[in-house]
Amino acid sequence: MDSEAMTTVPGRSGPPGWLELQRTSRPLGGAVAAGSSAVGEVLAEVGRSEADLRRFLHGLPGVDQVGAEARAASLATRSIKTSSKLWALEMAVRMIDLTTLEGADTAGKVMSLCAKARRPDPADAAVPPVAAVCIYPDLVPVAKRALAGSGVAVASVATAFPSGRASIAVKLADVRDAVAGGADEIDMVIDRGAFLSGRYGLVLEEVQAVKEACGQAHLKVILETGELVTYDNVRRASYLAMVGGADFIKTSTGKVSPAATLPVALVMLEAVRDFAEITGAFVGVKVAGGIRSAKDALRYLVVVNETVGEAWLDPSLFRFGASSLLNDLLMQRSKQLSGAYAGREDFSFE
């Protein structure tokens, strides 16, 4: 990161710590777009130099692993039944980014996926469409055509997904390509190598550059929490992404294990909550990787509900990156409505 390019603000002895930002926080008054001036102000204060950024990130409160996991486990004991379960199942469907990210993907596969995204349950038109499909950039035009007029968004991964190991020029070209193809949302990966070697400024700059290249498209920033390992790192990376202009922070690429877990989601939701308090900006959270059962999905919704609250119980602020989850949600929904357990072949698998 080129620190000389950053303007210095005279008269300050150092960047504000997290606590100071809390004290001067703005009251929450309606959702503010994540790239707002409030966020820009925070960015200006903490992003002046690598050292300032490091001090800010390392000054955030730590996360006690055992305590965080215990809280997540306690929330997982919530028992969601009857009408509250039905509501949640349908909300979860609406929150899905229906995903296919395989080397073997073809136009045919993507078109099939889009058809399912528009109409998840062929036998029941009451089932709402999912939020988006999530695919590789070269298949964006196929998806755009297949989803035209449906309200389902096209999300594309980019920035040399999943590893992120390429030059910034290549990564930005990847983004521009997807945007040009019509992508409504971009799921980028942060440079974990840079993060883990402490080059926070580089990570921040890349998020900012990608955000710019996104244009009108919404940006989800994948932290790849499985590679970050500690919850302290997850908290710091969350803040980095948000200060950089993320519309969403996302747990994982789904290509690395462990991917999304309840405690990781808890920590990210806490970061999002605190960030909203400081800036008034609402950043969304997407959990991806390994979420296969409706039971799991409902647990995530409970964590959202009891950590950041109802405002985030909406596809505009919470997503599931998943593929097989959809059918399990449909099966559970079917059981709720009919009383009998559905069979696997009752739903198309793609």
Q: Under the rule (CB under 8 A), what is the footprint of other proteins?
A: 19, 22-23, 30-31, 33, 61-64, 66-68, 70-71, 77-85, 87-88, 94, 131-132, 151, 153, 184, 218, 270, 301, 305-306, 310-317
Structure tokens at 349: 């698998």
The residue (of 63 and 246) whose beta carbon lies closer to other proteins is: 63
CA distance readout (Å), 308 to 119, 242, 303, 313: 30, 16, 8, 9
Report yes or no: 292 and 69 within 8 Å, Cβ to Cβ.
no
Count Cβ atoms within 10 A of the Cβ of residue 348 and give its class: 0-12 exposed, 13-18 middle, 19 or more buried: middle
Which one of the listed residues 52, 220, 286, 328 is annotated catalytic? 286
Nearest-angstrom CA–CA distance, 320 and 338: 26
Q: Which of 132, 136, 134 is nearest to 178 (CA)?
A: 136
The residue (of 186 and 202) whose beta carbon lies closer to other proteins is: 186
Least distance between other proteins and beta carbon 18 (Å): 9
Quick one: CA dihedral 191, 174, 248, 330, positive or negative? negative
Q: Which residues contact 68 (CB under 8 A, 6 or more apart)?
A: 231, 263, 266, 267
**255 in active site:** no
The residue (of 202 and 297) whose beta carbon lies closer to other proteins is: 297
**187 in active site:** yes
The residue (of 67 and 122) whose beta carbon lies closer to other proteins is: 67
Least distance between other proteins and beta carbon 116 (Å): 17
Least distance between other proteins and beta carbon 302 (Å): 8
Which one of the listed residues 171, 220, 250, 296 is annotated catalytic? 250
Structure tokens at 41: 């102000």
Q: Which of 246, 250, 189 is nearest to 212 (CA)?
A: 246
Least distance between other proteins and beta carbon 8 (Å): 28
Least distance between other proteins and beta carbon 147 (Å): 10
**286 in active site:** yes
Which one of the listed residues 187, 191, 274, 328 is annotated catalytic? 187
The residue (of 78 and 255) whose beta carbon lies closer to other proteins is: 78
First to last CA, the chain: 45
Catalytic residue list: 187, 250, 286
